[in-house]
Amino acid sequence: MSTIKQVQITFDCASPQRVARFWCEVLGYVPPPPPAGFAGWDEFNDAQAPEDRDTWFACSDPSGAGPRLYFQRVPEGKVVKNRVHLDVRVGTGLVGEERLAVLEAECARLVALGAVRVQLLRADGVNESCITMQDVEGNEFCLD
């Protein structure tokens, strides 16, 4: 039986570079260097045929610990709740008011980047508090 060594998480979206850059800011990820012969990704994109511009983008954890994120353009828009979402773990090990303060501070930072706050789910005796949010294209995620 083989072991999976790496996982990539793929997002379907309308604007791959925009969504990828949002997640780079959220997670501290970085985009890869542009293809050889190009000074930057904008220059690479401008060199493509119009129908091939902004069709994909990727970013990764600079430490190599987290999975690579891949963003691909799809023609259809998001119409229902995600079947899979990311939990951004900013409050690990914290409880009560201390946890809420950390969650609220990170929520404010992400709203400034274009995220939308959806709902605060308060601790219920089984689960700790978290905040449900949406990224710049409406994909759900949690601050946990």
pLDDT digit string, tens, across residues 37-92:
999 989 999 999 998 889 999 999 999 999 999 999 998 888 888 878 899 999 99
* Sequence-ordered list of residues with C-beta below 8 angstroms from that of 127, at least 6 positions apart, any chain: 121
* Sequence-ordered list of residues with C-beta below 8 angstroms from that of 62, at least 6 positions apart, any chain: 28, 29, 30
CA distance 39 to 2: 40
pLDDT of residue 43: 93
- The residues that bridge with 58 in the sheet, in sequence order, are 70
Closest to 66 (Cα-Cα) out of 93, 19, 26? 26
pTM of the model: 0.86
pLDDT digit string, tens, across residues 14-46:
999 999 999 999 999 999 999 999 999 899 999
pLDDT of residue 6: 78
Q: How confident is the model at residue 131 (pLDDT cuts 50, 70, 90)?
A: very high
pLDDT of residue 80: 82
Closest to 67 (Cα-Cα) out of 10, 141, 8, 5? 8
Q: How confident is the model at residue 1 (pLDDT cuts 50, 70, 90)?
A: low
